[in-house]
Amino acid sequence: MELLRINNLKTYFNISSGTVKAVDDVSLTLDYGESLGLVGESGCGKTTTALSITQLLPSEGSIVSGEILLEGKNIVNLSDTEIKKVRWKEVSMIFQGAMNALNPVMRIGDQIAEAIILHEKLSYKDAIKRVEELFQLVELEPKRISNYPHEFSGGMKQRAMIAMALACNPKLIIGDEPTTALDVMVQAQILNLLDKLRKELNMGIILITHDLSILGETCDKIAVMYAGKIVETGYVEDIYNNNKHPYTYKLLSSFPNIHKERVMPDAIEGIPPDLINPPSGCRFHPRCPYAKDICGKEEPRMELANEGHYYACHFGGVYNEK
């Protein structure tokens, strides 16, 4: 059985200047033990997609339509009490712990223990014991559970965030830019740790980032998002070496790649579109160097490139033609 399947999800924000179509018809699937990278420029709707899963949207935001099937069960319409049981117990999150995701005036151990007490109904003492085990798992000294967040380095905070995410043995972990603001070495350590834990514990992981280059080693699949839509999705191989969508192509070449010959990173021209009035047809057409007439008129459908590899472009792979 699939762990997660999102079908045609639409999540909009109603604000005074209009309706922001932050997530507009997004579909994706994830299996147990599998890891999916969700990439795209800032503001394309990655966080909104993640927050929709356990209904953590701010008050302006709401899921307009679509299904979110967790182990086959639709959780979009769960009541307030029901979704609270799904949160952390089934789906936990790793926020940017390096920033401000940990409460500064509460001991880190207690912040993890409180979730265990809530969902597993353990006593405080047993919960703390579990926190110590979790600290070992993420390679932190168990005695540091009584520290406050400011006593941890960025990398340590991120490890603590991971320990927190693992606290109730969730089936799915969503990491929203879990390594942003960490230096490259620490970033690699954290990603390796996550990778190891995922395989050991057979969890599904969604890794959100705007940096495609870090996903190669840690993900099985990648979904590329642009202006509220997924424009290409497939296995890492497909996306890295056989991509079909001009946006994926541009995004890849906008990051220096250490495995290939050195090329100057090539920034994508123009700015991401306004999601209140997104461009007609293909949302990428105002910035796409390969756009033709049809691109502004007709929205491209998802095409199958090969098994598990889809793209939404009228002229898939056009940039490879000489």
Partner 1 sequence: MKKQYVLKKVLQSLVTIFFVIVFNYFLFRIMPGNPLAMIMRNPRASAEAIERTKELFGLGRPWYMQFFIYLGNLLEGDLGLSFIHKRPVIEVIWSRIMPTIIMVGLAQILSIVVGILMGVISAWKRGTKIDVIALSFSLVTYSVPTFWLGIILISVFSIGLRLFPTSGMLTPGRTFYDTVSMLKDYASHLFLPVLTLSLVLIGEYALTMRNTLLDVLTEDYMTTAKAKGFDDNYIIKKHAVPNAMLPMITLIAINMGLIIGGTIQVETIFSWPGLGRLMYEALNGRDYPLLQGIFLLITISVILANLIADITYSYLDPRVKS
Ligand X SMILES: Nc1ncnc2c1ncn2[C@@H]1O[C@H](COP(=O)(O)OP(=O)(O)OP(=O)(O)O)[C@@H](O)[C@H]1O
Contact with ligand SF4 (CB under 6 A) among 68, 300, 309, 310: 300
The owner of tokens 């497909």 is 238
Q: From the CB of 203, what's the least distance to partner 1, in Å?
A: 16
**Shortest Å distance, C-beta 176 to Mg ion:** 6
- With b for 16 or more beta-carbon neighbours within 10 A and e for fewer, the 5-17 pattern comes to bbbebbbbbeeee
Strand partners for 87: 91
- Closest to partner 1 by CB, 86 or 227: 86
Q: Can you tell me which of 290, 303, 317, 319 binds ligand SF4, judged by CB under 6 A?
A: 290
161 binds ligand X (CB under 6 A): no
Q: Which of 57, 61, 46 is nearest to 14 (CA)?
A: 61
Residue 114 interaction partner, one of ligand SF4, partner 1, Mg ion, none, beta carbon < 5-8 Å per kind: partner 1
C-alpha dihedral, 249 to 258 to 159 to 153, nearest 10°: -120
Q: In the chain, what is the straight-line distance between the N-terminal and C-terminal CA atoms, in Å? A: 43
DSSP 130-147: HHHHHHHHTT--GGGGG-
In the complex, the smallest distance separating the C-beta of residue 113 from ligand X, rounded to whole angstroms, is: 29
Bridge-based pairing of strands 172-176 and 204-209 is: parallel
User: What string marks each residue from 191 to 230 as x (binds ligand X by CB under 6 A) or -?
Assistant: -------------------x--------------------
Under the criterion CB under 8 A, does residue 12 sit at the interface with partner 1?
Answer: no
Cα angle value 275/57/19 (rounded, 5°): 30
Instruction: Using the minimum distance from each CB to partner 1, give the nearer residue, 93 or 251.
Output: 93
Contact indicator for 304, 310 with CB cutoff of 8 Å: yes
Phi and psi of 47, rounded to 5°? -60, -40
- The least distance separating Mg ion from the CB of residue 150, rounded to whole angstroms, comes to 24
Q: Which of residues 76-135 bind ligand SF4 (CB under 6 A)?
A: none
Q: Tell me which amino acid residue 290 is.
A: Y
Piece in contact with ligand SF4 (CB under 6 A), picked from 76-84, 166-174, 269-277, 290-298: 290-298
From 52, 92, 209, 243, residue interacting with partner 1 (rule: CB under 8 A): 92
Contact by Cβ (8 Å): 38, 208: yes
CA dihedral 138, 141, 145, 148 (to 10 degrees): -100
Separation between Cα atoms, residue 285 and residue 295, nearest integer Å: 6
Distance CA 211, CA 270 (A): 18
Q: What does 60 bind: ligand SF4, ligand X, Mg ion, none (CB cut-off 5 to 8 Å by kind)?
A: ligand X
Residue at token pair 């935001």: 61
Instruction: Provide the minimum distance between the beta carbon of 90 and partner 1 in the complex, in angstroms, as a whole number.
Output: 10
Residue 47 sits in the site that holds Mg ion (CB under 5 A): yes
User: Per rule CB under 5 A, is residue 29 in the interface with Mg ion?
Assistant: no
- Least separation in angstroms between CB 315 and partner 1: 40
Q: Which of 5, 46, 119, 210 binds partner 1 (CB under 8 A)?
A: 119
314 contributes a contact to ligand SF4 by CB under 6 A: yes
Query: Binding residues for ligand X, per CB under 6 A?
Result: 13, 15, 20, 22, 40, 42-48, 58, 60-61, 210, 275
Query: Binding residues for Mg ion, per CB under 5 A?
Result: 47
